[in-house]
Every structure is written in C-alpha cells, then in structure tokens.
Amino acid sequence: MLCRLGGGRLRPLPGLQPGAWGPRFAPVPTRGATPSVPPARAVASVSAVNPGDAGGWYEALAASAPVRGAEDMLLAAHGVTGLPWWGSILLTTVALRGAVTLPLAAYQHYILAKVENLKPEIQNIAQHLNHEVAVRAKQLGWSKRVARFTYLKNMQRLVSELYVRDNCHPFKATVLVWIQLPMWIFMSVALRNFSTGATHSEAGFSVQEQLATGGVLWIPDLTALDSTWILPICIGAINLVIVEIVALQKVGMSRFQTGVTHFVRGISVLMIPIAATVPSSLVLYWFCSSFMGLSQNLLLRSPRFRQFCRIPLTKGDSDTPYKDLFAAFYAKYISRK
C-alpha cells in the first residue's frame, strides 16, 4: 500500500505492507552572573530575607539571582536616565517588551502560520491513510481498536515528518510563554523588594524612600496602594480586551479552547482585586506590561509588519485586519440582540 505525502509523491506506508515493512508497525494484540552597576545612584542588591532562615519558597524567590538581576536592571535604568521612579519603571517595561517579547511573539506567529499552512496537506494525508488502514484492516481482520491504533501511530509519524521538513513544530510557539512569564514574575518580585525596603543604595538611601516620592498623578507614593482602583481596573480591562481579540481571531473553537478562554477571562477579572492589594510600583509595571501586550497584539495583525517579520501568509489573513476586528467586536458585543 502507498500513502501520498506532499506534492503528490507516493511512498510505502509502514505497518500496512507485508514483508520488510510489516514488523515495524505490526498490529498490537488486544488485551485488557550579576550585571555591573553604574556609578550614579549605583546599588548593591540586597535580599530582604535569607532563604536559609525563612525556609519559604517566596523568600527563596525574592533572594534568587534572577530577581537580583531584575533589581540591578531597574536601578541601572534609574541611575543612567535620571528619570523619576515612575518613568524608570515605564522605560524598563517598554524596553523589555520591545527587545524580548516582541521578537518572540513574531517568531510565535511565524511558527503558527507555517503550521496553519500545513493543514490542507495533513488533511490529505489523513484521508489517504484512513482508506489504506480500512483496506488493510478488512484484509487481516483487525478489530476497530487495532485499526485505530495503527492509524494514529502512522498519522503521528507522518505529521512529525512534515513538522521536521518545514521546521515548524508547534512546541516552538510556546517559547514566548516560557520567557515572558518568568520575566514578569522576577520584575514583580524585584519591585516588591524595593517597595518593602529590601534594597539600599551605596549612599545609604533606601530605594523605598525614593519610591515614596517617585510617583505621578494620583499615585505620588509608589510604595502605597492605589486607593482609587484606577490602575487595577485598567489592568483588568486591558487583559480582557486582549483575550477577546484572540478569541475573535479563532473560528470554531474546540471545547478545550473555549474552556481556556473562559479561564483566562476569570484570571483577568481576578487581577483587579489582586492589583488593589499590592504596592503601586507593581501595579504600574503590570499596567504598562499589559498595555504593551495589547499594542504588540495589534501590531502583529498588521500585514506590513507581518511581511517585515517574514511571517508566511495564511488563508485566514486579511488586508484589512483592524476593520475586520472592529466589525467582529461590534457584531458580537454591540449589535447582538
């Protein structure tokens, strides 16, 4: 028996041939280092608690090398730019988002676009393979369970070969999450260390004291809570908008995808009361990070930017993505009766 793989080329199908190919997929019988610090306002990052004394996971995290690196980076940005602390936090967030997460997000879209373009070929292979397995099962008297196992085993192998051929395994699209989430955690813990007085400058001035006078507008004290709840509500709203943009982009979501979307919506709402109970320095960072995430999401829908990043065209791409997004949002949430 033969199976079609890409470009009309036929190749022997393991598991469905007698002789040399047969034993390979024979049916299974059924049976039950710390960065340097600038001289101006230079700092020595000091951990708040010795993890050996406290023994808690958070204390160990707060004293870890990645958090100390985040502290050094924030203090370096503050010392080099001379900006007030609110400006230093915003500048650092924008720089991290632009230099780290934006390229990774573009790479994620690149991989997903290549996987999307493989779907017609995968469907064609599945159709031919299903026919070959059905014929072979009838000839050899396989049970439904054995036939199903043989089909899935061969289909998995053939799809993996396609991913290797086009260098687009879907797992590569998860690199963004494995980088962005730890970075967000380390920055948040570093800012909390600052706000609780865990770090001091070489001149002996507490970074906590500097944050207390380094705020802006209705949050002059970045060590205090945002009693107005303006930033926490903005964080929740922006995250919900991001979730809806992603959801509107997908058509015919599975039950699992729908469940994940609802879960993320719940997390976005839960972030509002959480943000209202932490120092404003963290909330300001979270707000700026979410806003940059929204901007990044919209930018990656631009045909020109996608072309600049060499993201392959897919069947679902549109020449007017923003107009289509607004129309979908209007139809789902405004004009719905």
Structure-model confidence comparison of residues 216 and 125, the more confident one: 125
Consecutive H or E run containing 174: none
Instruction: Spell out the residues 6+ positions from residue 17 whose beta carbon is closer than 8 angstroms to its own.
Output: 1
Lowest mean pLDDT among 136-140, 174-178, 324-328: 324-328
142-160 burial, b for 16+ CB within 10 Å, e for fewer?
beeebbebbbebbbeebee
Strand pairing report for 10-12 and 2-4 = antiparallel
Lookup result for tokens 């599975």: 254
Rounded to whole angstroms, how far apart are CA atoms 47 and 194? Answer: 10
Give the dihedral of Cα atoms 265, 270, 275, 276; nearest 10 deg: 130
Consecutive H or E run containing 44: strand 43-44
Report the 3 state secondary structure along 139-156: HHCCCHHHHHHHHHHHHH
Token digits of residue 150: 């043989």
Mean pLDDT (the chain) is 80
**What is the separation, in whole angstroms, between the first and last Cα of the chain?**
55
Render pLDDT for 280-327 as a digit per residue (tens, 0 to 9). 999 999 999 999 999 999 999 999 999 999 999 888 888 888 888 888
Q: What is the pLDDT of residue 39?
A: 34
Residue 336 confidence class, pLDDT cut points 50, 70, 90: low
Instruction: Spell out the residues 6+ positions from residue 195 whose beta carbon is closer than 8 angstroms to its own.
Output: 208, 211, 222, 223, 279, 281, 282
The candidate with the shortest Cα–Cα distance to 161, out of 123, 122, 127, is 122
